[in-house]
Amino acid sequence: MGHLGAGWLERPEREQVERTDLLIKNLPLKPDSVVADIGAGTGYFAFPVARRLPQGVVLAVDIQQEMLDIISARSLELGVDNVKPILGDIKGADLAVESVDLIYIVDAYHEFSHPLEMGRAMVEALKPDGQLVLIEYRGEDPSVPIKRLHKMTQAQAKAEMAAIGLRWVKTEDFLPQQHFMVFAR
């Protein structure tokens, strides 16, 4: 999604329709976790996740400087100092090796132009016991009102994560339209 679509990320009905509150509540976090929000956009998830990390940090990664500018402005406005914008690129997230406890990707993985390269970079950034939570609209469910090209099946996600060296841990079904899939290094 381009930065001109930032308003869609912040739409008022999003929490109710997608139950983003449940998504955030169920992320496997510790108070001192180092978390990477890949495809952070406007920081819609980064800021509430940061509130759950009193000694931790959210590394808000995006490939669009305009999105990171929005995050920086929101950090100042909200007085939040544990959300760190990072400019990535289509092949990497610019994260240090074995530095991240948890990576989460919300409705963005399917947009990657270079998923193998980006995936390998993310795995490299995970600590040995690190996890990746992948959130994607359910491709198996025709009732989810999202275009097919913006959905993924669970089988597709498992295969792509296995290709970069991650193993599937579980899939939770508490979200009304999306898979909540947990993978481990």
Q: Which of 10, 136, 134, 2 is nearest to 67 (CA)?
A: 2
- pLDDT level of residue 104 (50, 70, 90 thresholds): very high
What's the CA dihedral at 87, 92, 95, 99 to 10 degrees? Answer: 150
Whether residue 96 has pLDDT greater than 90: yes
Amino acid type, 163: A
pLDDT digits (tens, 9 = 90+) for 7-53: 545 556 656 778 989 999 999 999 999 999 999 999 999 999 999 99
% of residues, the chain, pLDDT over 70: 92
CATH of domain 15-184: 3.40.50.150
Q: Which of 128, 129, 117, 125 is nearest to 86 (CA)?
A: 125
